[in-house]
Amino acid sequence: MAISSPNRRRQRSVRVTVATALLALAALAVVAALPTQSVGWLSASSVFALLAGSAASRIIFNELLQSRREAATDRAEQAQAYRAMFSERAEEHAEFTTAMTDRLANRDRSISELEDTIALAEQRANEAETRVQRESRRANDALELVAELQETLEIRKAEQADELATWEGWEGALLGGETDAVVGLLEWDAKVNAGASAGDETKQA
């Protein structure tokens, strides 16, 4: 805001003082001429009072004009100052708005990236959970298969043990029967040989 300089105020006070002094002198001249009842003095004082009043009026009028001009100049300077301040504030507001808009955009971008990251992490977690469940089912199936194979192996071992025992029994029986057959065959062969020798002896006699 523009402020009137002390020099202007000093000039204004001097002019007002001069105008006041002229009016005072005119009044004193008229008051001094009245007791004389002289037409010359009254005319002179009247003319002096008229001139002094006119000069004072002119001085006051010029002072008012100058005051108005100064006030208009001050208002123009204030308007320019307000315009400059408004422009500066508008620029600051625009910069602040741009900065806040960029910050909000960055925040929204960060939030979007975090949401995408969270969604990806949830997807990976679901995939990992599904994979774990699938591996768990596979492990359970493998354990069940191992249990079935162990049971089958135990059954097979028992069957093999039974077959081995049965085979050993049959082998013993077969070995015993063959021995008896060989002995019988030997006895029968001896008898046949003895019979043939007796027949030969009978023929020769």
Let me know if residue 98 belongs to a domain: yes
Which amino acid is located at 171 in the chain? E
Number of domains in the chain: 1
Let me know if residue 129 belongs to a domain: no
Residue 190 is encoded by which pair of tokens? Answer: 């001896």
68 touches 4 (CB < 8 A): no
Q: Which of 14, 22, 4 is nearest to 63 (CA)?
A: 14
Let me know if residue 128 belongs to a domain: no
Task: Tell me what pLDDT residue 172 has.
Answer: 53
Let me know if residue 204 belongs to a domain: no
Task: Tell me what pLDDT residue 179 has.
Answer: 55
Task: Tell me what pLDDT residue 123 has.
Answer: 87
In terms of residue numbers, what domain contains 47?
Answer: 6-119
Task: Tell me what pLDDT residue 8 has.
Answer: 59
Residue 157 is encoded by which pair of tokens? Answer: 């071992």
**Helix or strand or coil: residue 1?**
coil
What DSSP string describes 3-66?
---HHHHHHHHHHHHHHHHHHHHHHHHHHHHTTTT-HHHHHHHHHHHHHHHHHHHHHHHHHHHH
Let me know if residue 27 belongs to a domain: yes
* Positions of the chain with pLDDT under 50: 1-3, 174
CA separation for the pair 17, 59 (Å, rounded): 10
Let me know if residue 14 belongs to a domain: yes
Task: Tell me what pLDDT residue 1 has.
Answer: 44
Let me know if residue 58 belongs to a domain: yes
pTM: 0.40
Residue 75 is encoded by which pair of tokens? Answer: 């208002």
Let me know if residue 59 belongs to a domain: yes
Task: Tell me what pLDDT residue 158 has.
Answer: 79
